[in-house]
Structure 1
Amino acid sequence: MQMKLVRLLTILGSVSSQISHRNVSSISSYSTATENLRSKWRRRMSNSMNALFRRISPLGDPKVSIVPMLDQWVQEGRAVDKVQLRDFIKRLRSFRRYTHALQMSMWMTDNRYIIFNAGDMAIRLDLIHKVKGIEQAENYFNNIPIQLRGIEVYTSLLNSYVNEKSLEKAEATMQKMRDLALAKYPLVYNSLLKLYYQNENYEKLDSLMHEMEDKGIACNKVTFGIRLSAYAATCDVKGIEDTVTLIESDSSGVLEWETYFIAASGYVKAGFLDKALSMLKKVEGLITNKASSKAYDYLITQYAACGKKDEVLRLWELYKKNNKVLNRSYICVMPSILKFDDIESAEKVLQEWESQCEHYDIRIPNFLIAAYCRKGLLQKAETLIKRATLKGGKPDAWTWFYIVTAYLRDGQTEKAVDTLEEALVVRGDQRKPNEESWTDSLEYLKEKGDLEGAEKIIKLLRDKDIICVGVQDRLLNNVRVGKSNFDAIN
């Protein structure tokens, strides 16, 4: 009897085990199948929504609304996914298409009734500020329910004030975040630190960093970058050294080439070229051959500042070998080479660029035109301007400003005045030209005793609204009495 009972229990246990195993297998199989279906649905939705983004992408003009296109998408019976829409807003923001990003954000709540979380509200606040201004952003913030005004929303408001350089409101917002126990992350502090740095208020910057230290809030790479930039701006060599050492010893962070570049620029400004060169070598050690053009541009600029022509040329060849060279890099290397009055090398670089450029950017030959004019090589400057024009380049105001001085030095006063007028016409609504571009002309004419030529230029400057009536009168008086007070006249 006992043996039968044991056999019965054994059989029941085996059956139970099989049933249990089958149930677990069924549940696992069901779970896997469900996840596969979800994954397929996400892929289909993503592909469908990407088709919507492809419709929106070509509409680069912010004056053209994307709302009709979104409405049409829905009218066609197509589905929308809030996760994808959020991703689209992120993409539009990265392309600086803030108006369209805001339109999509508004459409999500006004037309699709999608419930926003705090992150969505923070992004909308930022977009409203960028598109409609700070007052509208403040109005939006004030209408957000208090319980939803978390760290993301307050940080967005703080960043808006920082971007407006509104110190008082930024500090008030920071204090409110302290009162609400929201000021506990480096991201929050970095915003105000940035504003203090921009305003050159280094005492408040130090005080805020001490507050972070007292609260045990760890610095991140942005914090260190701001601190290092402040030391570099004030030529505080010890501060630069200590901060670099601190960053190098921080095992939690990733050492980036920008750190050493900031340090190098500070050393150059302070006149410690050996220390600067040491930092630049460390920059090279952190960038790969495929590094961004930005890294090479910075290196070339700083080696030029250190007076190392061979290093400039070496880096330029290395960059060309491993990267597609952009116009921006030519704009960087041309003045770097010309710092050494190496016109021949600059001419070769310009020829390289002209042989492969798709769009003729007059800013690049302008560097060489300016060098020719400084050297009195007027014919070469004129020839280059003609060549640039034939290749599709359009001389800008600076092209003409450079050559005005060359004409004056060559005794071609009438031609200089005519060219200056051309420069001011081309200038259009651009920012006012550097005073040096025309004070040099006045100084030359004064020394030559050409009162009539100087008066023509002064009146022309007034006609083109470059100077006010008061400045015009002072300049005319200075010319007539033989003074050379053409600096700081505004």
Structure 2
Amino acid sequence: MSLIRSKWSLHYISRLSGSLFYSTEALPPSSPAPVDPLIRRISRARDPRIPVTRELDQWVQEGRHVTKSQLRKFITILRNSHRLRHALQVSEWMSNKENHELTSGDIAVRLDLISKVHGLDEAERYYASIPETSRVVEVYGALLNCYAEHQSLEKAEATIQKIREFGVNRALSYNVMLKLYAQMGQYEKMDSLMQEMEEKGICDGFTINIRLNAYANTSDLKGMEKFLMQTEADGTTLNWFTYASAANCYLKAGLSDKSLEMLKKSELFIKGNVSRIAYESLLTKYAAIGSKEDVYRIWIMYKNLGKSNNSGYISMLSSLVKLDDIEGAERILEEWESGYAFFDIRIPNMLISAYCKKGLLEKAEALISKILESGNELDGRSWDSLATYYCRNNLTESAVEVMKKAILAYRPSSKVNPFNLSACIEYLKGKGDSERALDILKLCRERSLFSEGTYNELFHFVHVEKPDTSAFHLMAEDHPMEKIDQASDAEKRGEMELSN
């Protein structure tokens, strides 16, 4: 259970720190929190193509000092904000420029960042450079995460064996291996590892949830129910997340009544510091079942906790949109607008997207105008929702103009919407307007919205007749085919959720 508690604690730390980069708190406007001026500088340096270390260099040149604890804090904030390239730059600056000696924890963090930013090969090269004396269990744990993330099973198994040799029985590392076995369908190995964990007494709530989800993925409801009953009979202390996971299993199987029963049971275990995140999760789960009454009931309980986070409004709005309760969503948006301290475009984007999908163009445009008139900015998804409306209604010329705004508003290295972009490219190619098509492609390349390989494929597509292919499928390098096929099916049903 300690892992579950620490996981939620990290989540709350992430929210608090992440508010500087992508606001999550809706606090009374009269209570602004003091902000470290260096953190503010780093928060503004969003473009991943521009090194964030420029801000650190300038800070030092101004005669100021940066402590090791500050740098670690910046790395944590950047990681939690998914600015991994910048986090890695700060990690490297810490040792290269400031000559700080790295602890095993610092090394483990850097290893993880290198794997995510540059890939497994670079991570292994960095690991090879680590002195033997520094290759402690924390570093092996990070290496295991790298192999698990890239689904390198044999190397992961060799690494977990190294961890065993330390004689330190850490549930975290074993859970990583357990999840990898589940992802790769190695259920016999998963059961064997779980038995080992039980013998060592290191099973926790996360272990249980991995096993429950494995049963769900194999549609083995009987196995899941037997496992859950046995776990309860053994006197294992379960939590709200365990029963919420069981609810997901039933929901995947189409058993809404049993899923509802598990969610009600989950509520009985919600208390203390996890209450806020638990209620946010349950909002979306009750919406998935279709229980509007429970969504509003949980929302009242959530608000009774005190101040409402932006993340709570996101959960509530997404739930009401899913339930097709547009009027209710409008009321929640008005409530948020009346009291937020930090503007978060993701919140109004929920309604902009819903309006466009339902054909309520005037409402979408009115909300967009309201945001712009207030001095706030739209992001790529805001404009992309409009482009989706125009594409679906054969107003492709309008979609082209809006798509340009979307591309400019996307954060660099975001994933551009393949449906809208391909529709615009094919429309312009059909008109013989290759110049405008290439302008859009060059803009995407400048913003790093897709790879150089995809750019070259689409560039060639614009100039050459390819009757057996489409712009959409030429984007497969950046959007794996299985995901494209799934999204294409969803798009045909009018159910695709747009995302940055």
Q: Is the 8 A contact 1:462 1:469 kept in 2?
A: no
SS of the equivalent of 2:356 reads: helix
Letter matched to residue 260 of structure 1: Y
Structure 2: segments with no counterpart, 5+ residues: 1-34, 43-51, 80-86, 115-122, 477-500
Residue of structure 2 aligned with 1:233, choices 200, 217, 220:
217
SS in 1 for 2:343: coil
Is residue 2:399 matched to residue 1:416? yes
State how 1:137-176 maps to structure 2 within 5 Å: 137-144=127-134, 154-155=140-141, 157-159=143-145, 161-162=147-148, 165-176=151-162
| Aligned mates of 1:254, 1:156 — CA distance in 2 | 28
- Structure 1 residues 419, 342: CA separation in 2 closer, same or farther (over 3 Å shift)? same
Q: Which amino acid aligns with 2:105?
A: I
Instruction: Determine the C-alpha separation between the residues in 2 that align with 1:93 and 1:413.
Output: 43
Distance 1:143 1:436, change over 3 A: same
Structure 1 gap ranges (5+): 1-55, 74-84, 111-119
CA contact (8 A) 2:68 2:100 kept: no
Question: In the alignment, which residue of structure 2 is the partner of 1:452?
Answer: 431
1:5-63 alpha-carbon deviations (Å, 9 max, x no partner): xxxxxxxxxxxxxxxxxxxxxxxxxxxxxxxxxxxxxxxxxxxxxxxxxxx97654573
Shift of the 164–108 alpha-carbon distance from structure 1 to 2, 3 Å rule, reads farther
Which residue number in structure 1 is paired with residue 335 of structure 2? 352
Give the whole-Å Cα distance in 2 for the aligned partners of 1:468 and 1:88: 40
Aligned length: 401
| Deviation per residue, 1:260-313 (Å, 9 max, x gap) | 111111211121111110110011111148753211111111111111122112
2-structure distance, mates of 1:195, 1:348: 43
Residue in structure 2 matching 1:402, options 366, 369, 385:
385
- Alignment match of 2:203 (pick from 207, 211, 219): 219
Instruction: Select 1:267's aligned residue among 228, 235, 250.
Output: 250
Task: Return closer, same or farther for 1:430/1:419 CA change in 2, 3 Å cut-off.
Answer: same
Taking a change above 3 Å as real, the CA distance of residues 277 and 58 of structure 1, as seen in their structure-2 partners, is same
Partner of 2:28: none
Q: Give yes or no for contact 1:458–1:475 (8 Å, CA) kept in 2.
A: yes
Structure (1/2) with the larger helix percentage: 1
User: What is the aligned counterpart of 1:182 among 145, 151, 167?
Assistant: 167
From the superposition, tell whether residues 442 and 250 of structure 1 become closer, same or farther in structure 2 (CA, over 3 Å).
Answer: farther
Report the secondary structure of 1:302's partner residue: helix
- Choose the corresponding residue for 2:105, options 95, 111, 123: 123
Contact 1:396 1:427 in 2 (8 A): yes
Structure 1 or 2, whichever has the larger Rg, is 1
Give the Cα–Cα distance (whole angstroms) in 2 for the partners of residues 197 and 278 of structure 1. Answer: 26
User: Normalization by structure 1: what TM-score?
Assistant: 0.67
Shift of residue 384 of structure 1? 0.6
Which residue identity does 2:285 align to in structure 1?
A: Q
Q: In the aligned structure 1, how far is the partner of 2:139 from the partner of 2:351?
A: 50
The separation in 2 between residues aligned to 1:352 and 1:88, in whole angstroms, is 36
What's the % identity of the aligned pairs? 36
Deviation at 1:405, TM superposition (A): 3.5
Which of 120, 125, 128 is residue 135 of structure 1 equivalent to?
125
The CA deviation at 1:419 is 1.3
Contact 1:404 1:420 in 2 (8 A): yes
The two structures, once aligned, show a CA RMSD in angstroms of 4.4
172, 189, 196: which is aligned to 1:204? 189
User: Deviation at 1:138?
Assistant: 3.9
Alpha carbons of structure 1 residues 305 and 455: separation in structure 2 relative to 1, 3 Å: farther
Q: Kindly indicate whether the alpha-carbon contact (under 8 Å) linking 2:387 and 2:400 is maintained by their aligned counterparts in 1.
A: yes
Shift of 1:107: 9.2
- Residue 441 of structure 2: aligned partner: 462
In structure 1, the residue corresponding to 2:431 is in which secondary structure? helix
SS of residue paired to 2:268: helix
* From 293, 306, 313, the counterpart of 1:323: 306
Measure, in 1, the Cα distance between the counterparts of 2:315 and 2:362. 25
The equivalent of 2:176 in structure 1 is: 191
Q: Distance in 1 between matches of 2:223 and 2:207?
A: 14
Q: Contact conserved, 1:125 with 1:157, CA < 8 A, in 2?
A: no
The CA deviation at 1:349 is 0.8
Q: 1:379 to 1:425 in 2, by over 3 A?
A: same
Q: Deviations over 1:135-181 (max 9, x none)?
A: 3344325244xxxx775665455455445654333211223445x47
1:294 equivalent to 2:304? Answer no
State the shift of 1:454 in Å.
Answer: 9.1
2: CA distance, partners of 1:168 / 1:296: 39
Give the whole-Å Cα distance in 1 for the aligned partners of 2:250 and 2:398. 45
Map 1:79-118 to 2 at 5 A: none
